[in-house]
Structure 1
Amino acid sequence: MAALAVAGVASAQSSVTLFGVVDASVSGYSSTSRDQNNGFTYNAQGVPTSYNPFYVNRGSIKASRRELANSGYNGSRLGFRGTEDLGGGLAASFWLEAPIKNDDGSEGVATFARRSTVSLSGGFGEIRLGRDYTATFWNDTVFDPFGTNGVGTNLISTASNSFGGFAGIAASNKAFAEQFPNIALATNVSGGNYARSSNTIGYFLPPNLGGFYGQLQYAFGEKTKYSPGRATPPVENNSRQGRYVGGRFGYANGPLDVAIAYGSSTVGDQYYAGITNKVDTLNLGASYDFGSVKLFGEVSRAKNKLDYEVTPTLAGRPDIDLTGYLLGVTVPVGAGLIRASYSRVTYDENLVANPPAVLPEDKKANKLAIGYVHNLSKRTALYATIARVSNKNNAALTVGGPNFVTAGGFTPKTSTGYDFGIRHAF
């Protein structure tokens, strides 16, 4: 009876596909911090007030690691998708996609954290429900020659991933006031709404609009509401965190592809303090394929802000702005593809000194990445990528691997890395 039931389900599908990617690489990472003290002690205005002639500069300190990694070219995954023709131009579809760690086998089809959706489509477009990519992430990955994979991932993506992570108000303030460390994109589905969002309702325009495409998306925070409001438990992130609303619209025709996206993610809240912590993101990306070379570009601006029901006496914490841009290129060479990109990000904390004083300079970082992909077939490729990040003014972005050593007064400076691997798709 069980076998007959399975056969009945399978026969009801117009198509069912098992697919996946197995990607493995030998990767190395190195994060170098420097002692930038010179024996002087400075006041708030940056004026030296004392000097220690016996101070000995300690130079630099490096944290490095080599490993057998995964997902250096494409994210390793295992998925199932299917479509049923309902007639009259309607179709029902499902898509279940799980991340896998083929380097050590520690993670398989335990969660469908990459995508888990069911949808209904027709001449009106598509209604899609479940966990899916956010509208604002698409531009970061589509217009990156490295597709936001491996050490070549552009800095807009790297910085935005931590900038918009879920956190309490206090923890968020502390993180922004000190450093902006990398947070690896985890399969834990509660870490943030940067790349993917859970509990979404999405609408996608139909594909027959002369090259125009677009989507609208809303994600439920799924927090319990209480009436009267004073019955709400005094717990951070208990009322609004998790919501996301966004949209993306673009035009793709021939060699040109251009798209603009906007999204707002609620990353934290304090109900009784009347505070909501949001990250609003606006980005614009484009690519143009000349045949012999394909160019990529993106500009992005994200704002981490605290909305107050009652503005504090001292006006509260200022908004924190993350701006960035990306320039990239791919060049086909026989069976291979050369890839290169340059990206840059700046954090503006909008600090105001009262009384007037010299304020810290904005945190900045830039990244250069170059790589080569050699296609052995349509499904199998060898690849190599190297990348370097340069940090200024206490920014602490890396290409991956270990974080910077900052204890004892060391300042994050450079991060370098490489991937040499093989990717097989099926």
Structure 2
Amino acid sequence: MKSASAVSLSGGFGEVRLGRDYTPTFWNDTVFDPFGTNGVGVFDPFGTNGVGSNLINTANDAFGSFLTPAASTAPFTNVGNSNYVRASNTIGYFLPPNLGGFYGQVQYGFSEKTKYDNGTFTPNVANNSRAGRYVGGRFGYANGPLDVAVAYGSSTIGDQFYVGTTTKVNTLNLGASYDFGPVKLFGEVSRAKNKVDYEVTPLFTGGRPDVDLTGYLLGVTVPVGAGLIRASYSRVKYDFNEVQLPFEPATADPKASKLALGYVHNLSKRTALYATVARVSNKNGSALTVGGPAFVTGAFTPKNSTGYDFGIRHAF
């Protein structure tokens, strides 16, 4: 799981955590207890490690750099960070663990920008005023074989003070798992919106349309002796909400799907062998991969991406 850096104070009141930490919406994608669950995620058999990581995580991690009015980084204009995985300068609070299975957290991340009074002294530089701010929360219920949680986060990923625009990514996801014993089922649905707020909405164009990213995941794990079979199917779709003009051919929305299969064999309580194979299928210009370098886009964009991983994991 990707690293964070934070300090905390905990007690009967719960936990207060400060620093660079995972966001509430990311917790529904990632590994909750890698030592106790064979590296399985809360609502995903593969968590966010290796080629099996689901497309909801892959697509959302890059979604904040999509079509933002900010400093340019080809091929899109972006600030390079959507706060999807983690946010800096955060204050977080976690509920205590003795609430009959209910759990939750809230988090606020400061933008660490200088506020000028009056505002006309603000430098005319993109992302100088509000970019980096984050607010979110996650609440769930875990009891016996059932675990379910909903999370929401809003990240300010770009701003231009004098233009009067603020770009945000708002993310909502819901995950659930149920352990039947012979099999454990996983599921997640997610919706993210990349939107521009205008101080004064452009008169004729109405401004840049919102871009939506929706996705879902279905997964299963099956214990087999000292091992664990893992499988998942995930799918995402982009919607640019473009206005369709009369007699103009409809533009198909980019979408992608991913199938992942894996096996974990426990040699001991701390050591395990693992292997995974995964394949991403892209349509209508989507260019998601199983990991590693991104596709070189242009006149020709590859439609498929296949990856493998195998190795040994040891918990110290």
Q: TM-score, normalised by structure 2?
A: 0.91
What is the rounded CA distance, in whole Å, between the counterparts of 1:168 and 1:362 in structure 2? Answer: 19
Q: Is the 8 A contact 2:71 2:126 kept in 1?
A: no
Q: How far does the alpha carbon of each residue in 1:152-185 deviate from its partner, in whole angstroms, 9 at most, with x for none? A: 00000000000024985156898569xx9xxxxx
The structure with more helix, counted as a fraction of residues: 1
Partner of 2:265 in structure 1? Answer: 374
From 6, 12, 17, give the equivalent of 1:128: 17
Q: After the TM superposition, which residues 273-284 of structure 1 pair with which residues of structure 2 at under 5 Å, given as runs?
A: 273-284=163-174
Task: Tell me the percent identity.
Answer: 77
- Using the TM superposition, give the Cα deviation of residue 412 of structure 1 relative to its aligned residue in structure 2, in angstroms: 2.6
The answer (yes or no) to whether the contact 1:166–1:191 under 8 Å persists in 2 is no
Counting only pairs closer than 5 Å after superposition, residues 92-241 of structure 1 correspond to structure 2 as 114-141=3-30, 142-165=42-65, 169-170=69-70, 191-241=81-131
Corresponding position: 1:248 with 2:148: no
Mapped contact 1:256–1:289 kept (Cα < 8 A) = yes
SS at match of 1:419: strand
Once the two structures are TM-superposed, the CA of residue 196 in structure 1 deviates from its matched residue by 0.9
Residue 57 of structure 2 aligns with an amino acid whose one-letter code is S
SS in 2 for 1:136: helix
Secondary structure at the aligned position of 1:151 is classed as coil
Aligned to 2:155: 265
Which ranges in structure 2 are unaligned for 5 or more consecutive residues?
Answer: 31-41
CA distance in 2 between counterparts of 1:356 and 1:227 reads 51
Distance 1:238 1:322, change over 3 A: same
Q: Using the alignment, how far apart are the partners of 1:245 and 1:140 within structure 2?
A: 18
Asked which structure has the greater RCO (Cα within 8 Å, sep 6+), the reply is 1
**Distance between the aligned counterparts of 2:67 and 2:211, measured in 1?**
15
Whether the 8 Å contact between 1:167 and 1:267 is mirrored in structure 2 is no
Deviation per CA, 1:97-151: give whole Å up to 9, x if none: xx7xxxxxxxxxxxxxx22222222222111111111001011122110011100
Q: Paired residue for 2:288?
A: 397
238-247 vs 122-131, greater mean Cα deviation? 122-131
Q: Secondary structure at the match of 2:138?
A: strand
Tell me the alpha carbon deviations over residues 196-226 of structure 1, each in whole angstroms, 9 at most, x when there is no partner.
1111101111111000000010000010011
Corresponding letter in the other structure for 1:386: V
The question of 1:306 aligning with 2:196 is answered: yes
Paired AA for residue 120 in structure 1? L
Give the match for residue 253 of structure 2.
Answer: 362
Q: For residue 413 of structure 1, what is the aligned residue in structure 2?
A: 303
AA paired with 1:246?
Answer: G
3-state SS, counterpart of residue 302 of structure 2: strand
Counterpart residue identity of residue 128, structure 1: R
Query: Which secondary structure does the structure 2 equivalent of 1:362 belong to?
Result: coil
The CA distance in 2 between the partners of 1:359 and 1:401, in whole Å, is 33
- Give 1 or 2 for the bigger CA radius of gyration: 1
Instruction: Find the residue that maps to 1:160 and give its secondary structure.
Output: helix
User: SS of the counterpart of 2:228?
Assistant: strand
172 and 335 in structure 1: CA distance in 2 versus 1, 3 angstrom threshold: farther
Q: Which amino acid aligns with 2:52?
A: G
Evaluate the alpha carbon distance shift between residue 362 and residue 175 of structure 1 in structure 2; reply closer, same or farther with a 3 A threshold.
farther
- Is the Cα–Cα contact under 8 Å of residues 395 and 412 in structure 1 kept in the other structure? no
Change (3 A) 1:346 1:168: closer
Does structure 2 retain, via aligned residues, the 8 Å contact 1:165–1:194?
no
Gaps of 5+ in 1: 1-74, 76-98, 100-113, 181-189
Q: Distance in 2 between matches of 1:168 and 1:285?
A: 28
The amino acid of 1:191's aligned partner reads: N
Q: Is the 8 A contact 1:351 1:359 kept in 2?
A: no
Letter in 2 for 1:306: V
Cα gap change, 1:277/1:343 in structure 2, threshold over 3 Å: closer, same or farther? same
Summarize deviations over 1:203-255 as a string: whole Å, max 9, x none. 11111100000001000001001111011000000000000000000000000
Alignment partner, residue 425 of structure 1: 315
SS in 2 for 1:412: coil
User: Aligned to 1:357, what secondary structure does the other structure show?
Assistant: coil
Which of 168-177 and 335-344 deviates more? 168-177
Query: May I ask how many residue pairs the two structures share in their alignment?
Result: 303
Query: Are 2:66 and 2:76, in contact at CA under 8 Å, matched by a contact in 1?
Result: no
Contact 1:139–1:261 (8 Å) recurs in 2: yes
Alignment partners' CA distance in 1, 2:21 and 2:198:
30
Structure 1 counterpart of 2:39: none
Is the contact made by 2:64 and 2:81 (CA closer than 8 Å) also made in structure 1? no
- 2:226 aligns with 335
How far apart are residue 360 of structure 1 and its match?
1.4
Hey, what's the Cα distance between the residues in 2 that align with 1:363 and 1:324? Answer: 12
